[in-house]
Structure 1
Amino acid sequence: MADEVLSQAEVESLLSQMEAGGGRAVAAPAMAAPAAGAAAINKAPRTREKVTPYDFKRPERVGKEQMRALQSLHEGFGRNFGAAMSALLRSIVDVKLTSVDQLTYSEFVFSLENPTYFNVLRAEPLEGNLILDINPSILYPIIDRLLGGGKEAGPVARRPLTEIELRLVSRITQLFLNELKRAWENVLALKLSVERVESNPQLVQIVPPNEVVVLISFELMLGDIRGMINLCIPYNSIERIGSKLTSNSWASYGKQTVSAASIAQISRQIDRSLVDVVVTMAETRITTEDLIGLRVGDIITTDHDIRSPLQVAVQDVTKFHASPGAFKGQKAIRIDATLPPEKKLG
């Protein structure tokens, strides 16, 4: 059988069929080496390269390793800031890191509420300014708690802060800066301060609108109330210290042991906290008609035995058994037993 040589067009046609058929073998007659300008039939099929879209409006200038370092560093910061907030407000506060993203400064600014609590920070020796934004949905409940308010969350105000409120919230800001300084001390010794406070974020231009920033977002939970705290770090501020944002520099922060002094300080704060203590004398049921007809001096009968202990609850958790009595002319109870901690289901 005479040697056959395929033309370039025939080779391209066969290769197209192989690609369309998922790489299945195609039968072809034996051939001699192709002449000049012709391709061999047993040529390896061309591989398709994966194309990744790139958005020039949102360039990723911070490396993946630096982003992972920032995420791990601020996860530890969130835990410590939550503990410090709990001591200040005398209530359980949970702070959780939700995201570490790259975006443009204009995208960050236009994503915020107006008005809001917008702090322009100075972080020497970093260049430029940083931004700390606290969402009003969590800020006003914090102010209410600092002023002695209760657990009920009222409507969120849509107005700039007053001078008195600014003085109160500055305690939260300073607490944030103190913990942020501790979080960064293994990377860089920062000298943090607030340069100015604004209510309209669109009036502040610390970098050009298209400049890349790193947005670090935290969710703060105070009981059933939730709100966001955002830390904005422009790329040009951390560009020169990119090599320091490695696993060797920040890993030790999350593994620090709690010192005895820290435990004592938190204990002193908690010891001065006010708690609700409720003693249940007895429980019974009556009709609405009887309830409406109650007058001073009426007696309500119950099934509670006078010799049975009373339930004493602290912050809605039953903690003690007690007996009723009097002390120096005042109604009182005597603690008879301490109940074991309630086990949480699940």
Structure 2
Amino acid sequence: MSEEKLSQEEMDSLLGGMDKQANPATPAAPRRQKVAIYDFKRPERVGKEQMRALQTMHEGFGRNFGASLSALLRTIVEVKLTSVDQLTYSEFVFSLENPTCFNLVNAKPLEGQLILDLNPSILFPIIDRMLGGNTNSPPPARRPLTEIELRLVSRITSLFLREMQNAWENVLALELEVDRVESNPQLVQIIPANEVVVLVSFEVTVGSTRGMINLCIPFNSIERISGKLSSNSWVSYSRRPPTTESMQQIGDQLASAPMEVVVEMARTKITTADLLGLRVGDIVASEKDVHEPLLVTVEGTPKFQATPGQLKGRKAVQVVSNFHAEHLQVQAPAAGPPDAGTEAG
């Protein structure tokens, strides 16, 4: 095999090519890869879109529940959604206080049960407020609720479940009902300990007192309706026009509402001395003409004109026309110094 010698030019060319490969003029930037930590003990079975839907739904629920609770307690109550997380059932149970107000809720047609936990730090001030006290009293010792306190708490849970039904009505018509109430959450196991649940936490503020209300939704309960939570079809932004059924329902409710109807017979002026001297059977004269129609007001608003009369031996009025603004007669105040008279109607 013959040996061939390279020329100086060929050797320089080879060395130059090696230098370019070792030190490139424009080095490529290293690719950054995002590494997501995955815990096999806490698998994320609920998608991000479903979590966003649950968060949006319960944000509106918190505002409505706070308004309803404020009306019940006759004080300002603020309910704010703090978090919507997914974790295992055991982690949820061991994060609660003991004792607590642990409500097991049946949610037909969903499978299984939901859990509503009311923290005693906010529950006892609410009970105190319902019994006429204030919300700034020191919390009592840690103890389970008595039978009377459970009856009072049932009003809070019923209000919570009613507003929750309204919040979920565009997704699913729920029938919510409290099955039983427990004080020790660690003794209740409605699903396996490692099963995934969605924890919806609310912070309730009553006066200077704050506490948490937790709603636990097992994943196997909402697994069948996950498609409805993934779509945005349940969010309604437009105002629906009234239907015949809704107008009839509102009309039926208004028809049975009590209203105050007042008939003004006459107006006149008398002095304070005459007013103090009035006795039963005295007659107060007025300048109103007997043929002038009487004014009929409904809930303080002038509506009709009527004439006095009798019906079956009882005093009555007969409506003759609707009231119009031009029928008002405004009397100008008399000139001169004011007297000690007063007006009686």
What TM-score do the two structures reach when normalised by structure 1?
A: 0.62
Given that residues 54 and 229 in structure 2 are in contact (C-alpha distance below 8 angstroms), is that contact kept between their aligned partners in structure 1?
yes
* 2:186 paired residue number: 202
String of CA shifts for 1:247-294, please: whole Å, max 9, x gaps: 52342289899x9x9xxxxxxxxxxxxxxxxxxxxxxxxxxxxxxxxx
Residues 255 and 201 of structure 1, relative CA distance in 2, 3 Å threshold: farther
Distance 1:254 1:94 in 2: 27
Any residues of structure 2 matched to 1:321-336 within 5 Å, and which?
A: none
For the pair 1:189 / 2:189, whether they are aligned, the reply is no
Residues 214 and 132 of structure 1, relative CA distance in 2, 3 Å threshold: same
* 1:165 paired residue number: 149
Equivalent residue for 1:233, pick from 217, 230, 239:
217
Matched AA of 2:79: V
Cα deviation, residue 44, structure 1: 6.4
Given that residues 183 and 253 in structure 1 are in contact (C-alpha distance below 8 angstroms), is that contact kept between their aligned partners in structure 2?
no
CA RMSD of aligned residues (A): 3.1
Distance 1:90 1:46 in 2: 63
Any residues of structure 2 matched to 1:139-178 within 5 Å, and which?
A: 139-178=123-162
* 2:24 paired residue number: 26
Cα deviation, residue 234, structure 1: 0.7
Residues 186 and 44 of structure 1, relative CA distance in 2, 3 Å threshold: same
* 1:47 paired residue number: 31
Distance 2:236 2:52 in 1: 15
* 1:76 paired residue number: 60
Residues 53 and 203 of structure 1, relative CA distance in 2, 3 Å threshold: same
Cα deviation, residue 26, structure 1: 2.9
Given that residues 198 and 217 in structure 2 are in contact (C-alpha distance below 8 angstroms), is that contact kept between their aligned partners in structure 1?
yes
Distance 1:69 1:98 in 2: 15
* 2:90 paired residue number: 106
Matched AA of 1:199: S
Distance 1:255 1:197 in 2: 39
Matched AA of 1:81: F
* 1:243 paired residue number: 227
* 1:213 paired residue number: 197
Distance 1:217 1:253 in 2: 25
Instruction: Flag structure 1 segments of 5+ consecutive residues without an equivalent.
Output: 15-24, 28-41, 262-346
SS at match of 1:232: strand
* 2:335 paired residue number: none
SS at match of 2:42: coil
* 1:133 paired residue number: 117
Given that residues 101 and 216 in structure 1 are in contact (C-alpha distance below 8 angstroms), is that contact kept between their aligned partners in structure 2?
yes
Residues 125 and 143 of structure 1, relative CA distance in 2, 3 Å threshold: same
Distance 2:228 2:104 in 1: 24
What TM-score do the two structures reach when normalised by structure 2?
A: 0.62
Residues 207 and 151 of structure 1, relative CA distance in 2, 3 Å threshold: closer
Given that residues 135 and 206 in structure 2 are in contact (C-alpha distance below 8 angstroms), is that contact kept between their aligned partners in structure 1?
no
Pick the structure with greater CA Rg. Answer: 2
Given that residues 136 and 157 in structure 1 are in contact (C-alpha distance below 8 angstroms), is that contact kept between their aligned partners in structure 2?
no
Residues 141 and 186 of structure 1, relative CA distance in 2, 3 Å threshold: same
Cα deviation, residue 57, structure 1: 1.1
Distance 2:138 2:105 in 1: 30
Cα deviation, residue 125, structure 1: 0.9
Matched AA of 1:49: Q
Given that residues 121 and 194 in structure 1 are in contact (C-alpha distance below 8 angstroms), is that contact kept between their aligned partners in structure 2?
yes
Any residues of structure 2 matched to 1:87-126 within 5 Å, and which?
A: 87-126=71-110
Instruction: Flag structure 2 segments of 5+ consecutive residues without an equivalent.
Output: 1-8, 251-345
Matched AA of 2:24: V
* 2:48 paired residue number: 64
